[in-house]
Structure 1
């Protein structure tokens, strides 16, 4: 009987040991996957620039400037206004989406730049860090990209002498533009196409969409990735909070109900937090493809919006406007 008891105790101990080892192995595996996924997210494949402004019959200047916070080398194009009947003091800065660059996006950014140039706007297109031809090792989905955009504004103001500045961005670039627009006194108007409202919440809610992994492990995996990659601080990127500071400048949100990557509800959350904003919900396209489906209307609406806020001292009247089309 005594031997039998010892034998049973050994079986129980072995079972507990095996369970502990299996759990340890599982945690090591999940941690390793978390680090791998975090590294992949911060290192999207770089897309090459395949077209130049000259192919759209635009004059342009190749620009190299540096991030004012960490000296990362950034590349861009300065496209002057083609209007010759007056000297313009207005510039619009383009900020591209995650994994793309100033030219390689699902829409023809150079076509849009040409239209803005013909309407009297200078256009500055640049690559975020770790994108296109810019330097930098990691993409941080808004945290450090914010300083890239602030540095672009500094370049436009101090090197080109332009003080009337508007921002337009898509996806990550849209969210970054909202945050920067709320902080920079030089920005008069922001157009945000398909932004996320809160990177931390959005990442956890869309975890399966982007990784294919079960949503139940998202919280742990995100925490591991943030601890390993200190530049990946999701809680720092909250455009819906930045939107609360838009009392005396313009904010225009554009989003499609067909967007499978970032729900248009994200733009609605930003809109509901902004004291002065308008939102255009479209029924065509997908993620950052609104321009492809209604180019003329898209151009006219953003030009009208920019002109409202970028003609010197404007008469400010708070607005709250939502349209669907």
Structure 2
């Protein structure tokens, strides 16, 4: 009887671990049409601003052979470009609410669909592990299209922030990063979600799921690790997180902030849930970003 119960528990853990892997790494994603409707409801003025701009669709090929598709909004003569990296299940519309401020400041704008999202190819999501390499292809496109003199900033939201942070230590062409509500490690995020949503402990489910992840993608959960990257990251980073975020706890950004050895600023937003810091106070968000960029420029002038 005891052994029967034991093996039933083992089989249940294996089954749920496999299920968790499928849900996490092969998520259902938003279409462009549905994402547009969401932005129309949440940020109508920002969407209206975006939709009248001249947009140039582009496609590049990732290192893994699938297409990455996006949009370039060019500001003639500009030497500054912002690349927006959206969160899990969403698509390039995730950057729409943020782009107005940068466009008004004279930046070129790049929005793109991460792999396995939107109109891009790919069939798996690895929380920044492979995505950080795909982002290199987007940066390559900017350099080829607009010139190697471009000052390139990354704005990432949620998993997009994790992607940008993991990419930052690999690419000397990046000038700064704005990280909005990133997780510190995929394992910690999964552990938290498993506890909140299923009331289950990390052991043994996440360890089994991590093994299935390796079998399916070649990547253990432990390798999906912005915190490890941030500890070596010398780029300036603006850290943003909502204090009411119940999806990815604000403590994870605080951990990242503490580990970051480079120039940094922390902006925590009262009342903001996950990825809603801009929506709570757009003007303050804009002011904080402007101040951060101005501080970077001042440091450059000072030779620091």
Shorter-chain TM-score: what band? 0.7 to 0.9
User: What are the within-5 Å matches in structure 2 for residues 163-182 of structure 1?
Assistant: 163-182=150-169
Aligned residue number for residue 187 of structure 2? 200
Match of 1:191 among 155, 174, 178: 178
Q: Tell me, what secondary structure is at the counterpart of 1:115?
A: helix
Deviation per CA, 1:77-129: give whole Å up to 9, x if none.
10113xx7xx21110100001111110x4xxx324213311210001000111
RMSD of aligned residue pairs (Cα, Å):
2.3
**Aligned-pair CA distance for 1:282:** 1.2
User: What are the within-5 Å matches in structure 2 for residues 129-278 of structure 1?
Assistant: 129-162=115-148, 163-210=150-197, 212-215=198-201, 216-247=203-234, 249-275=235-261, 276-278=263-265
Q: Which structure's residues are more often helix, by fraction?
A: 2
Rg: which structure is higher?
1
Note if 1:76 corresponds to 2:76. no
Change over 3 Å in CA distance of 1:236–1:224 after alignment to 2: closer
Match of 2:277 among 290, 294, 308: 290
Q: Tell me, what secondary structure is at the counterpart of 1:206?
A: helix
Change over 3 Å in CA distance of 1:187–1:73 after alignment to 2: same
CA distance in 2, matches of 1:53, 1:64: 24
User: What are the within-5 Å matches in structure 2 for residues 96-107 of structure 1?
Assistant: 96-103=86-93, 105=94
Gaps of 5+ in 1: 1-17, 318-325
Match of 2:32 among 49, 68, 73: 49
Q: Tell me, what secondary structure is at the counterpart of 2:133?
A: helix
Change over 3 Å in CA distance of 1:111–1:264 after alignment to 2: closer
Q: Could you state the TM-score of these two structures normalised by the residue count of structure 2?
A: 0.87
Match of 2:6 among 13, 18, 23: 23
Aligned residue number for residue 60 of structure 2? 65
Note if 1:33 corresponds to 2:23. no
The number of residue pairs the alignment matches comes to 289
**Aligned-pair CA distance for 1:300:** 2.6
